[in-house]
Structure 1
Amino acid sequence: MDEQFTTYTVTGKNSPIVWQFKYHLNGLLAEFKLLEGELDAKQINWLFVKGKFPYREDQIKQWNTIPEFDIKIGEPDLSFDSFWNAYGNKVGKKKMAENTWKKLSKADKLKALEAIKHYNNYLSRKHGIDKAHPTTYLNQEYYHNEWKSAV
């Protein structure tokens, strides 16, 4: 299953750094990488000691005001193929699921992709319940359910 992320690549305008932050669709940090350069003492102090480390996506969005950084944002893949592969249960009528996907708003596509992980976790706790066909998941708006808290 391919999970979706929003990626922020931060390049230093006055230093040889390139950092990459990947966020889950719920806005929480999934991964931090140093792509180029090394953290010096000043950067370590700024990021970790002074509490600037952006563990939530809304925090890194505020970095656009920092003149020393150039930030590139990679949006999550909201194509139907991305959903189809992430959902994993490739049964039923693919074309019907694709037509439903095309009608969804961007916000609902994000919710649908984000909810897959929680839905799968729910199913793993509830033995004997089959995973819904992708078309059912979309048409019945399973992605609006609170799978994280469902028993």
Structure 2
Amino acid sequence: MLTSYTVKSKNSDNVWEFKYDLNGNLKAFKVLSGVLSNQQMIWFFRKGNFPVLESVIKTIWIPNLKQNFEITIGEPDLSFEAFWNSYGNKVGKRKETENKWTRLSKAEKLQVLSSIPKYNNYLKHYPKQQKQYPSTYLNQEAYKNDWKI
């Protein structure tokens, strides 16, 4: 049994995944989205910030890096149902939307799910704008938009 930590940058498209065994030892590290920059590699490896032990994520990363990173403990629910319920506008062709969802990468699914609250907030400020169908939101990659007001 492995414990997963998904680390998503708030300032870029970087998404990383760290997996630890029951003793808190690092078993896997994956870059799910983006590419480590030279500056990040220096910060990780030369400055000794790479979380080889789970305790580093728990005691240092989570409390101190909240302003720059969103850290999710455990496997996030990336099922189609999670998207469908979170999006809320259950219209259009469900099967077509589900097929598109299954073709997305794990990083894209994370990006979609984290963009929905921003999109909903954006729509609150523009009440005359109709919410996109879920299939349109995925097909047009609207989740990549910066939904700032």
Q: Where does structure 1 differ by over 2 angstroms across 4 or more consecutive aligned residues?
A: 23-27, 55-59
* Pair 1:107–1:97, CA change in 2 (3 A): same
Match of 1:141 in 2: 141
- The letter of the residue matching 1:98 is E
TM-score scaled to structure 1, two decimals?
Answer: 0.54
Match of 1:56 in 2: 65
* Pair 1:79–1:55, CA change in 2 (3 A): farther
What 5-or-longer segments of structure 2 have no aligned partner? 11-58
In the TM superposition, 1:1-151 aligns within 5 A as 52=60, 54-56=63-65, 73-147=73-147, 149=148, 151=149
* Higher RCO (CA < 8 A, seq sep 6+): 1
- The letter of the residue matching 1:56 is L
| Conserved? CA contact 1:92–1:133, under 8 Å | yes
| Conserved? CA contact 1:86–1:116, under 8 Å | yes
1:64-122 C-alpha deviation (Å, 9 max, x unpaired): xxxxxxxxx41110000100000000000100100000110111000000000000000
Tell me how many residue pairs correspond in the alignment.
95
Match of 1:38 in 2: none
How far does residue 56 in structure 1 lie from its aligned partner after superposition?
3.4
Look at both structures and tell me which one has the larger radius of gyration over its CA atoms. 1
TM-score scaled to structure 2, two decimals?
Answer: 0.55
- Secondary structure of 1:54's aligned partner: helix
What 5-or-longer segments of structure 1 have no aligned partner? 1-6, 9-22, 28-50, 62-72
Structure-1 separation of matches of 2:109 and 2:120: 17
CA RMSD of aligned residues (A): 3.1
